Amino acid sequence: MNESYRTVAGRGEDRFEVRGSEFLGYVSPAETVEEAEAFIEEIEAVHAEATHNVPAYRIRAQPLREYSSDDNEPSGSAGKPALNVLQQEELENVVAVVTRYYGGTKLGVGGLARAYARGVKVAIADAGTTEQQPHERFEIHVEYDDSGTVRGILESAQVEFDATYDASVSFSVRVPVADASDLRDRLRSATSGRVSFN
């Protein structure tokens, strides 16, 4: 799972109507199943009055985790078409939700499938796509005396990080998988082994 992959460049959303029903498509990057499920819950909370909130996601894991739900639409008419778009676009670490407000006219299974697929497509178009390198997250713990050295190395490596200053100093980092081992070696060397990771 070290090769690069396609995902959405950020959050995206768009809306359209089909025979009186309003559809709202949403997508977001998500690196874990937990992040994907949190996004689904967020959209469901915003649209608690909606007739349906249909989720789908693809998360890079061993093996790849794929999920979709019809959310009480006829079987196979909503979740699968939404997931199919993510598969056809070869997007990973992505979550989509298509919200429907029923407008009084039934669309039939084929009409629903087209509308839910379109909901994902328009949201992806709004977000745009990007190539990503797989990332790893870990914590670095050091005493105050070494914190400046560690911060300097993280900044020079252009690594994403958050620092927490308590009794000792913790850095929460997100680093490309390909660079993680070298970074840990550099930090151990620069602090004479006084750094710990978890």
Reduce the DSSP state of residue 70 to 3 states and report it. Answer: coil
- Report the SS3 class of residue 135: strand
Q: At 6, is the pLDDT very low, low, confident or very high (cuts 50, 70, 90)? A: very high
pLDDT in tens, 69-112: 999 999 999 999 999 999 999 999 999 999 999 999 999 999 99
- pLDDT: is 140 or 135 the higher one? 140
pLDDT reported for residue 61: 82
CA distance 109 to 107: 7
Q: What is the pLDDT of residues 8-33, one digit of tens each?
A: 999 999 999 999 999 999 999 999 99
Going from N- to C-terminal start, the domains of the chain cover 5-132, 135-197
Q: Which region among 88-92, 117-121, 133-137, 185-189 has the lowest average model confidence (pLDDT)?
A: 133-137
Q: Is 128 left (phi over 0), alpha (psi -120 to 50) or beta?
A: left
Portion of the chain with pLDDT greater than 90, in percent: 89
What's the pLDDT score for residue 2? 63
CA distances in angstroms from 84 to 21, 36, 133, listed in the order given: 22, 17, 23
pLDDT tens for each residue of 159-190: 999 999 999 999 999 998 889 999 999 999 99
pTM score of the predicted model: 0.76
Are the CB atoms for 1 and 93 separated by under 8 Å? no
Question: What is the three-state SS of 83-128?
Answer: HHHHHHCCECCEEEEEEEECCCCCCHHHHHHHHHHHHHHHHHHHHC
Which of 64-68, 111-115, 142-146, 178-182 is least confident?
Answer: 178-182
Distance between CA atoms of residues 156 and 176, nearest Å: 15
Distance CA 161, CA 141 (A): 13
Model confidence at 142, pLDDT cuts 50, 70, 90, reads very high
Best CATH choice for the domain 5-132 from the list 3.40.50.300, 3.30.230.30, 3.20.190.10, 3.50.50.60:
3.30.230.30
> Which CATH fold would you assign to the domain 135-197?
Alpha-Beta Plaits (3.30.70)
Sign for the CA dihedral angle at 36, 103, 119, 114 comes to positive
8 A C-beta contact, residue 91 and residue 129: yes
Chain segment 37-51, per-residue pLDDT in tens: 999 999 999 999 999
Q: Note whether 5-132 and 135-197 share their fold.
A: no
Using alpha carbons, select from 186, 175, 88 the residue that is nearest to residue 134.
175
Q: In terms of DSSP bridges, do strands 196-197 and 135-142 run parallel, antiparallel, or are they unpaired?
A: antiparallel
